[in-house]
Structure 1
Amino acid sequence: MPRNVFPLDSTKTFTDQQLTGHNRWHPDIPAQVHVKPGDTFRVDCREWFDGAIHNDDSADDILNAPLAGVHVLSGPIAVEGAQPGDLLIVDILDVGPIPQEDSGPLAGQGWGYTGVFATRNGGGFLTEQFPDAYKVIWDFQGGTATSRHVPGVSFTGIVHPGLMGTAPSPELLGRWNAREQALIDTDPERVPPLALPPNPDSAILGSLTGADFDRAAAEAARTAPPRENGGNQDIKNLTKGSRVFYPVFVDGANLSMGDLHFSQGDGEITFCGAIEMGGFIDLHVDVIKGGMATYGVSENAIFVPGNTDPQYSEWIAFSGTSVTLDGEQRYLDSHLSYQRACLHAIDYLTNFGYSPIQAYMILGAAPIEGRLSGVVDIPNSCSTVYLPTGIFDFDVKPGKNGPHRIDPGQGVPHSAA
């Protein structure tokens, strides 16, 4: 096993650990660990809510989740010699649930969860159809996930970090805050909000204290969106065997990571839509001096996907176009067309006995493929959702004898907003 440079004790909270990570982006958060180019090492990662979500049949914890405190990230990790303008090479050698802990109260100890937030807390991709809070528990056995809340489904996880990235420079942080505040100002009372401004409440900033903490907490960017530094990209194929090339904006690069997922569908459409868990990630790092200019990577990481995905040979696909449910035509709106494709998949699965929320949870957690299939044929964009038929223990394709009917069981825990 590689040297564990950021160990976490499952019996302690995130802020009571030997090393304290962070939940905001800021260039002044000190590196907790220093490594060298060519080093291989392990990092423990906590589930993004730090144990606030429980393995039970209630969604009250999702409804009342401590959103101001996410994501709890391990790091920063400084790489010796990395300087602004370089590219940081990060190889994901392995990633998985909490090792040797296959039962316990923390997500990652033999189980994980998928949630839908209430609209007031950010909602999800389909928040107009599902405005309340919901939760599904998934049990892990080997590399397979099953759920008491969604019967008839099992699939192999594509385990990956939902969030990994380098620290921003002061200038980059300033651009983030300015452009996101400008967006908020266009509709400041919107629910859910258009963006999340800096918020000192529940900020964790590593070893910063005193006046330095107060100043940084007022400036630091929330970790919810992906940005030029990588961040919360939620790319399901960023898994074992992947190589990522991150832009470097500060000395040492200051790499951080967390928000591990056992599995996820493209888009993480329920927002808390992967199978969330704590676990570990084994990494190898190196540096390409001047790589940002050499390869034209001035912003946003590029990566080589891993090759450990489960191999599904048969799919059933659903398409959607950029027309609203009320029949309003939109111009090449790929966000809308993907929503419509997802809704068509949900409607289809209800014919087999699933409730709409059970079907929604399947699309969020299972390894569906989402694609932009047409973005030039005015006025309609076309998006598609590919659902692997092999995840079901019955034939999910149309047939002359009609759809097989499953017993939906106890259903999905629900907490009204």
Structure 2
Amino acid sequence: MPKVLFLAELDKPMAEWDLPGHNRWHPEIPAQVGVKPGEDFRVECQEWTDGQIGNTDDAADVAGVDLSRAHVLSGPIAIKGAEPGDLLVVDILDLGPLRSWGYTGIFSRTNGGGFLTDVFPEAQKAVWDFHGIYTDSRHIPGVRFAGLSHPGLIGCAPSEDLLARWNAREQALIATDPGRVPPLALPPLERNAVLGTLKGAARDRVAREAARTIPPREHGGNVDIKNLSCGTRIFFPVYVRDALLSVGDLHFSQGDGEITFCGAIEMAGWIDLGVDVIKGGMARYGITSPVFKPGPVEPRYLEFLTFEGISVEEGRNYYLDATVAYRQAALNAIRYLTHFGYTAEQAYLLLGAAPVEGRIGGVVDIPNACVSLAIPTAIFDRPVLPV
């Protein structure tokens, strides 16, 4: 087993850990540990809400979750010798759960929301039990599938200039509709900021400046790409000295799009990583955001039931809008599954958690984009085809 660089203390909030990580992005959050290029190591991670969600049948914890504490990340990890302009090569060697269960949540429209929050405004939850590579849920009976485990969030620290650009453009977006629920973006928030070992005035200033971890950005971050499983290699642009790599938000499984917002099967877990550095790689290869080479490990599902979505909603055409089209594909799938004994909420949770495949069919045939959503039929214990 590789050496463990970061231990997760699952019984208490990250702010109280002996070696705390962080839940904001800022170049001045100090590295907690360091490695040299060529080293392999293990990192333990708390689930993304900092342990606020329990193995219960009540979704009150999802409804009341304090998102100012998210995402909790393990790191930063200094990669010795990495410099701005380099590429950090990260290999995902292995990963797994620290507990025997995880969860999927539909977040309340007024506290996080989700892809279909206008249709599903209330909080719901499904708890999943792990059996090796397989999982099932007492809250969505009749379903069992193999997980495709991966980190939902992994990335390097931004430079001061990049951080300033993030904050400026996201604040400009918020200003276009400042009262929107859920909001268009999340600005820096000092409350509940965890910033590693920073103390005093420096800690207070960084808390006011640091970016939230919710979206993906040029450095990687919360990309939620389900195929970044074992064997994946990632090429990250390096924006600060020593790269300052962090990881968290581990998923046992996820459908493309993670559509309920907390749509994956969230888990506390461990991940084994290997690192290397390509000097001057950003300029040499023209890379300004991560490049991914997914690994060969994934469940072997051969038959899918695939639902079409086009960019038409409530009788209105949207010009080549793939987001509207994917909403329609998801709604079509949910409506269909309600004819096989599932509630609409159960179907929505399932689309976020199971290894569902989302694909863009076309974005050139005006006026409609076409998107598909494919569900593996073998995950059900009953026939789900029309007869």
Partner amino acid for 1:72?
Answer: V
**Is there any run of 5+ residues in structure 1 with no aligned partner, and where?**
99-108, 400-417
| SS of 1:120 mapped into structure 2 | coil
Partner amino acid for 1:313?
Answer: L
| SS of 1:280 mapped into structure 2 | strand
Q: Distance in 2 between matches of 1:91 and 1:23?
A: 23
What are the residue-to-residue correspondences of 1:8-407 with 2, within 5 Å? Answer: 8-98=8-98, 109-298=99-288, 300-324=289-313, 326-399=314-387
> Per-residue CA shift, 1:17-60, capped at 9, x if unaligned?
22110000000000001100000000000011121111111010
TM-score, normalization by structure 2 = 0.99
| SS of 2:201 mapped into structure 1 | helix
Question: In the TM superposition, what is the alpha-carbon distance from 1:395 to its structure 2 partner?
Answer: 1.2
> Per-residue CA shift, 1:344-390, capped at 9, x if unaligned?
00011111111101111110000000011110000000000011001
> Per-residue CA shift, 1:163-183, capped at 9, x if unaligned?
000000000000000000000
RMSD of aligned C-alpha atoms?
0.7
**Is there any run of 5+ residues in structure 2 with no aligned partner, and where?**
none
> Per-residue CA shift, 1:213-261, capped at 9, x if unaligned?
0110000000000000000000000111000000000000000000000
Partner amino acid for 2:363?
Answer: V
- Identical aligned residues as a percent: 62
Q: Distance in 1 between matches of 2:122 and 2:338?
A: 19
Q: Distance in 2 between matches of 1:251 and 1:139?
A: 41
Contact 2:14-2:194 at 8 Å conserved across structures? no
Q: Distance in 2 between matches of 1:381 and 1:371?
A: 11
Partner amino acid for 1:362?
Answer: L
Q: Distance in 2 between matches of 1:12 and 1:251?
A: 31
| SS of 1:222 mapped into structure 2 | coil
Contact 2:230-2:295 at 8 Å conserved across structures? yes
Partner amino acid for 1:61?
Answer: D
Contact 2:10-2:51 at 8 Å conserved across structures? no
Question: In the TM superposition, what is the alpha-carbon distance from 1:13 to its structure 2 partner?
Answer: 3.0
Q: Distance in 2 between matches of 1:115 and 1:226?
A: 20
Aligned residues between the structures: 387
Q: Distance in 1 between matches of 2:48 and 2:91?
A: 22
| SS of 1:88 mapped into structure 2 | strand
Q: Distance in 2 between matches of 1:9 and 1:317?
A: 42
Contact 2:41-2:273 at 8 Å conserved across structures? yes
Partner amino acid for 2:293?
Answer: V
| 1:105 matched residue in structure 2 | none
